[in-house]
Amino acid sequence: MIAILGGGISGLTAAFELKKAGKEFFLLEATPAIGGKVQSSQQQGFTLEHGPNTVLINNPEIKKLIEELGLWKELIFPDEKASSNRFVLKNGKIEAFPSGLKKMLRSKLFCFETLSAVFKEIFNTSKSATEDESLAAFVERRWGKQILDDFITPFVTGIYAGDPYKMSAKYTMNMLKEAEEKYGSIVKGAFKIMKAKKLENEKNGLPKQKIFTFKNGLQQLISALHGQVEENVEQGAVCTKIEYTNKEYTIHYEQNGVEKSATASHIVSALPAFALAELVHNFAFGLSSSLYKINYEPAMTVHLGFDSKNMVFSEKAFGILSRNAEKVPFLGVLFNSQFFPHTAPEGKDLITVICGGARYPEIVAKSDEEVLEEITSCLKVLLGIKGNFELTNIVRWKRGIPQYEVGYRKIEAEIELFLGAHHNFKIASNYYKGISVSDCVKNGSLVAQSLI
């Protein structure tokens, strides 16, 4: 019997793989809901994403999952123009992110300093003084501060909500690090690595247009997965302790106020790091204390729905990311109804504001009234929004996104030491081998296959 702990996308994907293979398993999920961070809702005709907004089809496992669930025809790809139009807030002004040559020449972000830094990097022979370099130190060493502040920081805070001075270069932007290590320069290496990746994607039959959602949001993926494994899932089942004796695990959990336990020969942990740390410290002290060290940044999504004619900002756009130096209360703003028009009723717009992170964690603890006042007054000025918002919604993730910080190398080594000694214990979760939904699908699927 296999026990899967945690019913987010990682745990559900592992469950689906085991189900297909006819394996015996059960899944324990603490909350009454299923899907973990992947949650969508329909409100007043708007489709809101509470966690991730877009998922990438960038590996064979996610493609296969969508196909096997019969969801391929249901995929909705974004409006191409909107999804290629991305912006960065610099000195209070919304500047175009230079994603192609034409845009580069028009963009105020891409100045002479940028061009010169990119060119000089080709001949930069510097080496990191440490194996575990921070992302900021790496980018400053290779390209300088302007590229760090105007390009890399807005981009990585949009994904990790973390602090580039703490984030590990290797674990958060490995492609750039690999380019330096293999080819002596990011510029020289990145093109080669990207070309190789493109060829691999073509070989795997991955579509060119990689971002997707569904009519009812990403929840549709969760519902389809849940539908396949429902009979093996126990919701509202909070794991409280794991015991390990005679190569067998006893999982203690609490459900509806009743203490229960179940035994399993194998465990797939799809829990957050802090939750697993709590459960295993009695028999895996080293793993437990390493997992406690993984920092989770808080994140919050604020949804705003309004009449399209009330917004002056008229670009068809994907979103705006903000730099660290900007005095704004958000990390990024997504124009959902522009890249996925079905997410708002005709004549209306939906935007999702992502806040919190290492830059402004306190906002997550503020009251709804305070949050809305701060966000809407900022956006009214920035985007020229007039009148009232007809929909407002706030979702808080107090321990939102795990950080791969400097020092993660040691944590990873401890995880691998433990897994090496416990072949019947597997980890599939976003703090190990990548945080994106597609990384979680890949890892959930591979972990399950290793048990088949």
Ligand X SMILES: Cc1cc2nc3c(=O)[nH]c(=O)nc-3n(C[C@H](O)[C@H](O)[C@H](O)COP(=O)(O)OP(=O)(O)OC[C@H]3O[C@@H](n4cnc5c(N)ncnc54)[C@H](O)[C@@H]3O)c2cc1C
Binding footprint of ligand X on the chain (CB under 6 A): 5-11, 28-31, 36-38, 51-55, 238-239, 270-272, 275, 299, 301, 397, 400-401, 429-430, 435-437, 440
Query: Distance between CA atoms of 400 and 402, rounded to whole angstroms?
Result: 7
Please state the closest distance from residue 93 (CB atom) to ligand X, in A. 25
The residue among 187 and 242 lying less far from ligand X, judged by its C-beta, is 242
Minimum CB–partner distance for residue 177 and ligand X (Å) = 21
Q: How far apart are CA 419 and CA 52, in angstroms?
A: 29
Tokens of 94: 């919304």
Is residue 357 a contact partner of residue 157, using CB atoms and an 8 Å limit? yes
Signed CA dihedral, 29, 31, 36, 41: sign only: positive
Q: In this structure, what token pair is assigned to residue 28?
A: 């324990």
- 3-state secondary structure (DSSP) of residue 404: coil
Nearer to ligand X, 107 or 430 (CB): 430
Q: Which is nearer to ligand X, 37 or 226 (CB)?
A: 37
| 371 SS3 class | helix
Report, in Å, the least distance between residue 25 CB and ligand X. 15
User: Taking the complex as a whole, how short is the minimal distance between the CB of residue 134 and ligand X, in angstroms?
Assistant: 21
Bridge pairing between strands 296-307 and 348-356: antiparallel
b/e map 386-397, b = 16+ CB within 10 Å: eeebebbbbbbb
Closest by Cα among 85, 51, 65, 37 to 314: 85
**Considering the complex, what minimum distance in angstroms separates the CB of residue 325 from ligand X?**
23
Q: Please, which residue, 29 or 150, has the CB nearer to ligand X?
A: 29
Place of tokens 């336990």: 261
Nearest Cα neighbor of 55 from 197, 288, 202, 218 is 218
| Smaller CB separation from ligand X, 132 or 234 | 234
Cα 317 from Cα 322, distance rounded (Å): 15
Least spacing, CB of residue 12 vs ligand X, in Å: 7
Are 167 and 404 within 8 A, CB to CB?
yes
Q: Where are the beta strands (DSSP E) in 142-212?
A: 211-212
Closest to ligand X by CB, 348 vs 442, is 442
- Give 112: exposed, middle or buried? Use CB within 10 Å, 0-12, 13-18, 19+: exposed
Q: Which is nearer to ligand X, 279 or 328 (CB)?
A: 279
- Minimum CB separation of residue 339 from ligand X in Å reads 12
Which CB atom, from 293 or from 380, has the smaller least distance to ligand X?
293
Q: How far is the CB of 443 from ligand X (least distance, A)?
A: 8
